[in-house]
Amino acid sequence: MAETQVTTATLQPVKRVSKIWFLPILTLCIGVWMVYFQWANQGPLIQIELQSATGIEVDKTKIKARNLDIGVIKSIELKPDLSGVIVTARMNANTEQLLTENTQFWLVQPQVSLTRIEGLNTLLSGTYIAMEPSEEGEAQAEFVALERPPVTPAGAPGIHVTLSSGGDFAFKEGDPIVYRGMKVGDIENVYFNLKERKVYYNAFIEAPYNNLITTKTVFWSASGIELDLNAGGVNIRTASLETLLTNGVTFGLPSNGDKGEAITSRTYFEIHPDEETATKERFSHFAEFVILIEDTVRGLRKGAPVEYRGMEIGEVGQIGLANANNEFMSDDYKIPVLIRLYPGKVGLADTPSSVQEMKLRVREWSQQDFHATLKMGSLLTGGLYVDLLHSEGMPNQGLQTFDNYDVIPTATGEFTQITQKISALLDALNSINYQGLSAGMVDAVDSLNMAAASITATSDSANLVLEGLDSQAINDELVNTLKSAENMLKAYSEGSETQYELVQTIKEFQRTLKAVQPIMIELNKAPNRFIFSGEQDVIHQPRRRSNHEDK
Amino acid sequence: MIRFASFFFILVLGACASQPAAIHYYLLNSTTADATSTWRPQAQVVRLQQLVLAEYLTQSNLPIRIGENQIYYSPQDVWAQPLEESMTDALLADLNHFAREHNVVSAAAPDAAVATAELRIRVDHFHPTDSGTVEINGTFWLVNNTPTLRVERTPFSFSVEMEKDGYAHSVSKQRELLETLAKTIADRLQAKPS
């Protein structure tokens, strides 16, 4: 058996750190630095309320401003009342000044509508939250996202106006505001005032078209196709292709010189149903008159134009005024029609004094030859309008009033005159005995038919005969005959030998007859004288007067 | 043959038995008028249209009026020339003799083409009567085309008494009546403005 030696280890204390610790320490330092760096450079944390979290993913969904990533969604949670979601987002550093009360957020998703197509890029990149930063206002960290993107970018040059409407039409956010067919703005948002029963629209007119908005600017609806059937005929209008599909508003300035003053701040305007109504609203002062219609007012509408020598100067205000002496059931009842004449439309100032001036002038004319008549503006619609004109031969009816309104003398409408004449003509036509007339015409036609048949038969026979004739031979024969006749006539014409001999022969014959005449007279007296001489007749001879007396 | 012989025999008998009637021929225009009428230059030319005679006057036998309205034609007294021709010749001669400032030509004459006036004559009666007179009556017209159309109508009626018996004397008296008519017409022509 061998002996083993036991060796004991000598423990020596460590005098320095092992080199192996360098790497972990280094890693730790880097880690700490990274955490610090991350903590020092992270932006603020904000919360955004959304209707839903469609397409939003934690740590993936970005927040973009001007298409630049400035934040990321960190968490999503439901609201306590379950009416929406609250997303928490970490914004980039140095974005605190952009997070104010005027900053807007909205979810960008693919949107296709009649007015816009946007967000299609999110089909590939995914949904994100867009931010419209604003440095004005107080800083905040909780926001409510907009349901749809803002119509007008923040800070866009232009002017904001507020439009109101009490009509039956409605506009929505994004509907265009057009001018001369060009889109110059949008309706940003809509607010309905329950008390006033009016809808208010905040609209934005972009530059440089905001310079067109003055105190005299009027707005009217330019939606779809506008079809107007009135006394002037049929009018079809559309503002632009966009308004053809959606609603739209347009505006204009008066054409009679007064452009108004430019506005620089939000101003209120009313949206009129159409341009005509908008234009009329420019004039606020008018003179009212009454015309008394004897025949019918069918086809005449309230608002129908009143023209003077072709110029529209007013409108029909009311048809059928009621007054204290309601004589509707009397035989000679005349329908009162109230008309309004605008001094502003004839170049006068839109003031009460112009109204008085117009009234005085109309009164003066009414006592001369000025009168009103209903005329048909359109055969298609049958619409009537009131025509004011001067006409010689109008009887002077004096100045009349109806319910404190001055009455303008009225003549029978041209359509009524035409119908009266047509009625008289139809009565005359009615009185014609068509039965007898038609019987006579039938007989005449029969006779004509028979005559025509006879003529046809005759012409057929003549045709047959003519076909059997040799035209050329006949012509030659006729020419020869005519030549022979001409030669013969020459032979007997004056101065020819034949004519001389003929005349001499006739004269000789006459002489012979004269010579034989006594014998013929004798034979006539007594035929037997030819053989027997009888007693001599008494022969009368002229004698001188003395011989007669002797006898 | 027998019939022919009989007819011939009858003719011979008739020729022997009857005496031929004596026929007297008279000429109206045998009296001497100024037949050699000289053409007057620068004078107005008057065209004498064809004479119009009453129908009963166109017979070659000389007529005589017996009583109020009976006409007797003499079987042995005939005109040697148609009465119309004789009257026209006689009137032309007399008119050119009496109308010194006019040239009267017949319608058939070539110089009638330059006539500026026209003379028409209608004779209704031109015969002797059993009361010892010879008469002529009718109408003549003077038609002037220059300077304007003017028509002058003049009826005429002349009568002369016979101084002898017989048709010869009545013919000479008829010639005198024509001379009287021509003088009357010439006086009208002289009085009418050209």
Q: Does B1 touch chain A (CB under 8 A)?
A: no
Q: In what order do the strands lie in the sheet with A142-144?
A: A104-108, A128-132, A62-65, A68-78, A85-91, A45-50, A142-144
pLDDT at B90: 93
Interface contact B14-A531, CB threshold 8 A: yes
Owner of token pair 């107007």: A228
Interface contact B131-A517, CB threshold 8 A: no
Q: Does B68 touch chain A (CB under 8 A)?
A: no
Assess whether pLDDT exceeds 50 at residue A102: yes
Q: Does B129 touch chain A (CB under 8 A)?
A: yes
Chain B residues touching A547 at Cβ < 8 A: 132, 165
Min Cα distance B130 → chain A (Å) is 6
pLDDT band at A75 (very low <50, low <70, confident <90, very high): very high
Mean pLDDT on A250-268 = 74
Assess whether pLDDT exceeds 80 at residue A522: no
Q: Which residue of chain B comes nearest to A551, CA vs CA?
A: B131
Assess whether pLDDT exceeds 90 at residue A299: no
pLDDT at A155: 63
DSSP-H helix ranges across A215-334: 241-245, 275-280
pLDDT at A551: 43
Owner of token pair 């005496």: B19
Q: Does A551 touch chain B (CB under 8 A)?
A: no
Q: Does B81 touch chain A (CB under 8 A)?
A: no
Q: Does B166 touch chain A (CB under 8 A)?
A: yes
CA distance B87 to A248: 120
| A470-494 pLDDT tens trace | 778 888 889 999 999 988 888 777 7
pLDDT at A7: 79
In this complex, how many residue pairs, one in chain A and one in chain B, have their CB atoms less than 8 Å apart?
79
Q: Does B16 touch chain A (CB under 8 A)?
A: no
Cβ atoms of B142 and B165 closer than 8 Å: no
CA distance A457 to A472: 26
Interface of A with B in 340-369 (CB under 8 A): none
- Share the mean pLDDT of chain A: 80
Q: At what angle do helices B83-98 and B167-191 cross, to 10 degrees?
A: 50
Q: Does A512 touch chain B (CB under 8 A)?
A: no
- Non-local (6+) Cβ contacts of A105 within 8 A are A48, A63, A129, A130, A131, A132, A143, A145, A146
Lowest pLDDT segment from A144-158, A187-201, A295-309, B135-149: A144-158
What's the start-to-end Cα distance of chain A, in Å?
254
- Share the mean pLDDT of chain B: 86
Chain A residues touching B76 at Cβ < 8 A: 518, 539
Mean pLDDT on A416-439 = 78
pLDDT at B63: 94
Q: Which residue of chain A comes nearest to B9, CA vs CA?
A: A531
Mean pLDDT on A78-107 = 89
Mean pLDDT on A259-281 = 76
Chain A residues touching B14 at Cβ < 8 A: 530-532
Chain A residues touching B169 at Cβ < 8 A: 542, 544
Mean pLDDT on A101-116 = 77
CA distance A409 to A407: 6
Interface contact A533-B18, CB threshold 8 A: yes
Interface contact A518-B17, CB threshold 8 A: no
Interface contact B167-A522, CB threshold 8 A: no
Min Cα distance A512 → chain B (Å) is 12
Q: Is A312 exposed, middle or buried (0-12, 13-18, 19+ CB in 10 A)?
A: middle
Interface contact A532-B17, CB threshold 8 A: yes
Assess whether pLDDT exceeds 90 at residue B161: yes
CA distance A354 to A348: 6
Q: Does B193 touch chain A (CB under 8 A)?
A: no
Assess whether pLDDT exceeds 60 at residue A47: yes
Mean pLDDT on A503-519 = 79
Interface contact B132-A531, CB threshold 8 A: no
Three-state DSSP state, A335:
strand
pLDDT band at A414 (very low <50, low <70, confident <90, very high): low
| B10-60 pLDDT tens trace | 776 655 555 556 788 999 887 554 555 567 878 889 999 989 999 999 888
Q: Does B168 touch chain A (CB under 8 A)?
A: no
Assess whether pLDDT exceeds 70 at residue A124: yes
Chain A residues touching B8 at Cβ < 8 A: none
pLDDT at A1: 47
Assess whether pLDDT exceeds 90 at residue A271: no
Min Cα distance A498 → chain B (Å) is 20
Mean pLDDT on A441-458 = 90
- Please name the member of B21, B66, B130 whose beta carbon is closest to the beta carbon of A518: B21
Chain B residues touching A543 at Cβ < 8 A: 130, 132, 162, 165
Assess whether pLDDT exceeds 50 at residue B194: no
b/e for B10-35, b at 16 or more Cβ within 10 A? eeeeeeeebeeeebeebebbeeebee
Chain A residues touching B61 at Cβ < 8 A: 517-518, 521
Interface of B with A in 85-124 (CB under 8 A): none
- Please name the member of A521, A529, A548 whose beta carbon is closest to the beta carbon of B131: A548
Q: Does B161 touch chain A (CB under 8 A)?
A: yes
Q: Does A521 touch chain B (CB under 8 A)?
A: yes
Owner of token pair 């907009």: A146
Owner of token pair 């024509």: B178
Cβ atoms of A94 and A43 closer than 8 Å: yes
Most confident of A154-163, A267-276, A338-347: A338-347
Lowest pLDDT segment from A412-416, A537-541, A543-547, B62-66: A412-416
3-state helix vs strand vs coil in chain A, percent to 5: 30, 30, 40
Three-state DSSP state, A49:
strand
> Residue A157 corresponds to which tokens in the numbers above?
């040059």
- Please name the member of B17, B66, B165 whose beta carbon is closest to the beta carbon of A544: B165
Interface contact A543-B130, CB threshold 8 A: yes
| Residue of B11, B12, B18, B164 to mutate for A, most A C-beta atoms under 10 A | B18
Distances (CA, A) of A460 to A366, A456, A463: 77, 6, 5
Q: Which residue of chain B comes nearest to A536, CA vs CA?
A: B21
Lowest pLDDT segment from A362-366, A378-382, B50-54, B72-76: A378-382
Min Cα distance B168 → chain A (Å) is 9
Q: Does B3 touch chain A (CB under 8 A)?
A: no
Instruction: Please count the other Cβ atoms lying within 10 Å of the Cβ belonging to residue A525.
Output: 11
